[in-house]
Amino acid sequence: MAYLFTSESVSEGHPDKVADQISDALLDNFLAFDPESKVACETLVTTGQVVLAGEVKSDTYLDVQNIAREVINKIGYTKGEYQFSGDSCGVISLIHEQSQDINQGVDRGSKEEQGAGDQGMMFGYATSETENYMPLALDISHKILHTLAEIRRENKEITYLRPDAKAQVTIEYSDTNEPQRIDTIVVSTQHDAFDKDDEKMLAKIKSDIISILIPRVKAQLPKETQKLFDNQIKYHINPTGKFVIGGPHGDTGLTGRKIIVDTYGGKGAHGGGAFSGKDPSKVDRSAAYAARHAAKNLVAAGVADEILVQVSYAIGVVEPTSIYVDTYGTAKVQLSDGEIAKKVAQLFDMRPFAIEERLKLRNPIYLETAAYGHMGKTPVTITKVFESPYNGRIEREVELFTWEKLDKVDEIKKAFNI
């Protein structure tokens, strides 16, 4: 029997994502001026206010208020009528030094013996149903909102958009797990009050989303995926009515509250740990990236069409406590999932410092992860500039999304005799 599966995404202007981006901007600045920084910072945003909290161990000092304001303005909260603006909001910093009780389990005499920053289990997932090995419903949801943000910044085709938005895509699958068609698309976007007649205003928004946004999204997709768009799609555009009050004024935002949006949209599994604001000694983040790296390379190498990789840790302990693999019955090699897991443990060093080194995680690479998903993006090398009244100006060339590189495929093929 055919079934439906749904994933959602949220925009860079969603309150929780505003908080994530501020937390990761702080992390990037700490790592830019002191790569050995240990950082766990949280952000709360609400009407006219930003609260920064958390623990930091670093040799550098930052103007955290200014960094937060720059992020907010870049997202697009620049107008007083939003009741939340980078230029006028209050910024309160409650950041303090990291607990020595935690630090003693992480820092060791040898970096190779660095312990895990916490206990827990982390998951990585990959599927062959898209070119970037991500679940299709989530990939389309991200593209809808990323494209909506592009249209907002262009301010040409649709001129009333505000930064806050959410999207949701439901796909109909066959009994053999093949996508058949897109069943439902939901888009809720914040907007100016550009017409006194609410019905006319909502009709205009719905028409623009369907006739302007969706064709631009569709054009970015492979031909086979474009065929999933038909005339029977059910559209719910701003289904509750007008959406003028939004962003941190409409809903308080917190770092780490969109962990499913950040990963696989409900496919695979999630260990529960958030990413943003955490340096790579926190395995919630680094091991989740490492597990994705392993899963993506395994699928790309032809080990299976769909793979979930779990890795777990004890705080302060170097070696992971377990590595688990689930191929959902899609394995193309004559090995059990347990046997595949043993090979994964041999191919991928999952010790915390080894992950940091392999994926180059002690670099200021995190702000770019904090909206539209941490997984599935294209690896790229860029130059980032950081300026501080206390540390001066530096330029850093960094690799973004190293965990998305297909750099282990040949080694995996050799190990599995593919």
Residue by residue, DSSP assigns 40-107 as EEEEEEETTEEEEEEEEE-S----HHHHHHHHHHHHT---GGGT--TTT-EEEEEEEEPPHHHHHHH-
Closest CA to 248 of 129, 71, 376: 71
Cα torsion 348, 351, 355, 358 to 10°: value is -60
User: Which residues pair with residue 264 across a beta bridge?
Assistant: none
Let me know how many helices (H) and strands (E) the chain has, helices first: 13, 13
3-state secondary structure of 245: coil
Provide the 8-state DSSP code for 115. P
3-state secondary structure of 231: coil
Closest CA to 285 of 16, 24, 18, 15: 24
Amino acid at 243: F
Question: Residue ranges for the binding site for K(+)?
Answer: 42
Strand order in the sheet with 253-254: 90-97, 49-57, 38-46, 253-254
Question: Residue ranges for the binding site for Mg(2+)?
Answer: 16
Residue 11 corresponds to which tokens in the numbers above? 């925009």
Indicate the burial class of 4 (C-beta count within 10 angstroms; 0-12, 13-18, 19 or more).
exposed
Residue 136 and residue 181: Cα distance in Å, rounded?
11
Write down the residue that tokens 């559209």 correspond to: 235
Neighbours of 251 (CB within 10 A): 15
Provide the 8-state DSSP code for 113. G
Question: Residue ranges for the binding site for ATP?
Answer: 14, 164-166, 242-243, 251, 257-258, 274, 278
Angle between helices 337-347 and 283-301 (to 10 degrees): 110
Question: Residue ranges for the binding site for L-methionine?
Answer: 55, 98, 251, 282
Question: Residue ranges for the binding site?
Answer: 14, 16, 42, 55, 98, 164-166, 242-243, 251, 257-258, 274, 278, 282
Q: Are 42 and 53 in contact (CB under 8 A)?
A: yes
Whole-Å CA distances, 344 to 79, 80, 226, 227, 308 = 51, 53, 35, 36, 12
Helix or strand run (H / E) with residue 324:
strand 322-326
3-state secondary structure of 250: helix
Closest CA to 18 of 97, 82, 63: 82
